[in-house]
Structure 1
Amino acid sequence: MNKFKGIFPPVPTIVTKKGELDKKGMATLLEHLISNEADGLLILGSGGEFCHMTPKLRLEVAEFAVKYVNKRVPVMIGISSPSTKETIQFGQHAAEIGADAVLVVNPYYALLNSEAIYNHYQTVAENITIPVLLYNFPALTGQDIGIDVITRLAKDVPNIVGLKDTIDNISHTREVINRVHAFRPDFIIFSGFDEYMLDTLILGGQGGIPATFNFAPKLTKGIYKAFIKKDYETAFKLQRQLAKLMPVYAIESPFFGVIKQAIKLVGVDISTEVLPPVMPLANEKKKILKKLLTDSKII
């Protein structure tokens, strides 16, 4: 699974005012990310607005991205749904179109017991032919997958190859790594929170899935490259710069429009439209964002 390491940015989905896929804008963004040395791409993650899409649009976005990237870097597709059956359908589609892996957040809205969560992931993975990564994001799903469940799945289901841990608690990621790597050292651990990526690497993880790469690629990729080269002074310097950028996620909720506006501010010509019910970013918020990017030396 060596291809699943490094920086896999969660790619925003570029849409028109009518809420349709903007293929020209999407191609522009994908080219920007690949040319800036993304090690892989996550399509239809949280920042890709999958939660506000029709199934038809999700399939279209996945197909376009995989075809456009054309194996230049690995493509991971988010296939999350509260329904086990629909998750499998999205996963089988991802395999059919040539995706390299899928990412699956635990079912949301109805809180499940640990056995139900385990069964969901086991059933999904056993019905999909490409690698499956777990996606733990309790702040949005309302429920932590649980370290015990993650450990069981890593032991029992070979096709579950890794985890994106988006949790504001590095000790959680540390405990997962310590437990799972004891018997499965190749199990992939990606940091979901940008500022914890360096910590995750130090603990034995493989990389991160930072949205900041979309508009500050030299910063987040720079941290990874410096760490791999054991240039820790540079890694720490860039980490301090990244830490000052983290208020970007608090400018608006959800942050979808903020990331798109940031991409535009660094010179990538894309639409900043978002899917309803999210509202366009207000001018006042755009000014706050521009100041943050300026103060953080991104623009």
Structure 2
Amino acid sequence: MQGVIVPLVTPFNGDYSIDVPALEEHVEYLQKAGVHGIFVNATTGEFTSLSREERKFLAEKGRELITSAFYLMGTASSNTFEVIELTMHAQDIGADYVVIAPPYYCPLSEEALFKHYAMVAEKVDIPIILYNIPSCANPLSVPLIKRLALEYPNIAGVKETIDSINHIRDVILEVKGERKDFKVFTGLDGHFLNTLILGGDGGIMACANFAPELHLAVWKAFQEKRFEEAFDGARKLAKLSKIYNFALSFASAIKLAMSIMGFSIKPVLRPPYVIDGKEKREEIKKLLEEVLVQRH
């Protein structure tokens, strides 16, 4: 697994129920675009606002719909036993990978974090992608990632949603340097190309929900050593990633952008998240007009 992976939005109706037709349409769009993977129950998918039953429903629906890309399933929780349950469910339905963010809310020691992941890894065979997102959950240090990767073969990689090239560099050099099959992905659109240059494997990036062609163009140009094109695309991604500065949450930024671009996914977030208002929508619209050729 490598390349462009999309942390999928979860479409909602006006009454906050899951909009299944919009979900089906969006997954089809992404697969036609040629993305390499789709990640259901991601941060961008508002997984913390979903019930356990809804998360399992989306897992099963994703397995049904995703046929031409790697299928990643988010199974994070602050309850270790719930993580084990959701991860076993993902394994049972045939997901290719699970992605597990650390527990949130309560600060934990590195030993507690190690035990959390170890308990999960020992219960399943499915490959696990660690998810380092220190703005939202307990941070994963490079030594902790390395320890987990070297002790558990099914801990297969890490998604780094961290605005630090030095951290990503150290994970690639110190972890991937000792375990060549360990995958390192950025979670930030603006760090896509520099992660590839450092020796990483790709990105799991929210803006690929509505602009996958741009991410895929950077990936293809880099693989084919057409570096001027890769640089040009990376500059566009860097500018596009300013979208996150305009909104209160990843999901608000992405759903507003999709609404502006004509996708059928409604600008509706599950409480406690709220969609940003008209002023932010106009800022996002202006940015999209500057960076993207409208296709919808």
Give the counterpart of 1:156 among 126, 151, 154.
Answer: 151
SS in 1 for 2:126: coil
* Unpaired segments ≥5 residues, structure 1: none
Q: Report deviation, 1:10.
A: 0.5
Give the counterpart of 1:294 among 281, 289, 293.
Answer: 289
Q: TM-score, normalised by structure 2?
A: 0.96
Distance 2:274 2:8 in 1: 19
Structure 2 partner of 1:74:
70
Give the counterpart of 2:53 among 16, 37, 56.
Answer: 56
Give the counterpart of 2:139 among 139, 144, 147.
Answer: 144
SS in 2 for 1:172: helix
Distance 2:73 2:57 in 1: 12
Distance 2:250 2:198 in 1: 28
Distance 2:208 2:27 in 1: 12
Amino acid in structure 2 at the alignment position of 1:21: I
Q: Report deviation, 1:225.
A: 0.8
Superposed, which structure 2 residues align to 1:226-245 within 5 Å?
226-245=221-240
Distance 1:216 1:250 in 2: 18
Q: Report deviation, 1:92.
A: 0.7
Q: Does 1:180 align with 2:150?
A: no
Amino acid in structure 1 at the alignment position of 2:122: E
Amino acid in structure 2 at the alignment position of 1:200: T
Alpha-carbon RMSD: 1.2
Amino acid in structure 1 at the alignment position of 2:73: I
Is contact 1:194-1:212 (8 Å) kept? yes
Distance 1:252 1:266 in 2: 17
Q: TM-score, normalised by structure 1?
A: 0.95
Give the counterpart of 2:12 among 1, 12, 15.
Answer: 15
The one-character-per-residue Cα deviations of 1:219-266 (angstroms, maximum 9, x if unpaired) are 111111111111111000111111111210011111312211212332
Is contact 1:14-1:22 (8 Å) kept? yes
Superposed, which structure 2 residues align to 1:29-48 within 5 Å?
29-48=26-45
The one-character-per-residue Cα deviations of 1:99-119 (angstroms, maximum 9, x if unpaired) are 111000111111111111111
Give the counterpart of 2:203 among 208, 217, 232.
Answer: 208
With 280-289 and 231-240 compared, the bigger mean Cα shift is at 280-289
* Unpaired segments ≥5 residues, structure 2: none
Amino acid in structure 2 at the alignment position of 1:90: L
Give the counterpart of 1:249 among 210, 219, 244.
Answer: 244
| Structure 1 outlier segments of 4+, above 3 Å | none
Q: Does 1:195 align with 2:190?
A: yes
Distance 2:225 2:101 in 1: 33
Is contact 2:192-2:234 (8 Å) kept? no
Is contact 2:176-2:183 (8 Å) kept? no
Q: Equivalent pairs: percent with the same residue?
A: 37
Q: Does 1:264 align with 2:255?
A: no
Give the length in aligned residue pairs. 294
Is contact 2:7-2:43 (8 Å) kept? yes
Distance 2:217 2:92 in 1: 34
Q: Report deviation, 1:5.
A: 0.4
